[in-house]
Amino acid sequence: MKPTIDHIDNQSGSAMVVAIIILALLTIIGHLATRSTSLEVQIASNDMRYKQAFYTADGMTELGSELLEQNIACSQGFTASPQRGGLIDVQTIDFWKNDLDPDRMPSDADRDIRIPIGNDDTQPHTNIVIGGVPAFGTGSALQIAAGYEGKGKSTAGGGAYLIFDQIAQHLGNFETESIVRIQWRHVIGTEGICDP
């Protein structure tokens, strides 16, 4: 007598089907995890690029402030040679005389200073514009009684100063751009020696 095969209890191919389903699920989970990780890396890279552009623009405002003080010390501005130290391209030799224009923004077409020197605007560089207005301090006074002399003495402060708006635009790699605006106050009479 031949043994009968019960097809209902036969499970000889089910392990393969279960293994393929589990493998497919693990592949999908792995793909999603990899995709999520690469997206996180892209976000972190973009964040780093924009922070570099911001900190570069912010640092250039410090350099712009020093150039402004040097430019004020030379009443006629810098000499016709626009290169300061071989790194900075001063395109407006007497930029300290610029009027304050709140709508003026730095660009490759309108700038007082370009760092570094060169005309290749496809490379990372910083453009700076500067404009100012005169202002007067309110001053203060302090009366001091001279006691036994019966006279009063006073000390007073205040005076004139210039307020400058300085706007730095850094154009970096991967089309990053950052613009930083600061105000700089120059007290008249504190200029250094002119170094044209």
- The pTM of the full predicted model, rounded to 2 decimals, is 0.70
Beta bridge partners of 141: 156
Give Cβ neighbours of residue 64 (< 8 Å, ≥ 6 apart). 113, 128, 130, 166, 168
Domain coordinates in residue numbering, the chain: 15-187
pLDDT at 4: 62
pLDDT at 38: 85
pLDDT at 194: 79
Taking alpha carbons only, the member of 134, 128, 118 closest to residue 67 is 128
| Tens digit of each residue's pLDDT (9 = 90 or more) over 156-184 | 555 678 889 999 999 998 889 999 999 99
pLDDT at 156: 54
Q: Do 162 and 174 contact (CB within 8 A), yes or no?
A: no
Please compute, for residue 114, the number of CA atoms within 13 A of its CA located in the half-sphere on the CB side: 19
pLDDT at 12: 66
Q: Each residue's pLDDT tens digit in the chain (196 positions)? A: 566 655 566 666 677 888 899 999 999 998 888 888 888 989 999 999 999 999 999 999 999 998 888 888 888 888 755 566 678 888 888 888 899 888 899 999 999 999 888 778 889 999 999 999 887 766 555 545 544 455 544 555 556 788 899 999 999 988 899 999 999 988 887 777 877 6
d(CA 167, CA 57): 9
pLDDT at 176: 92
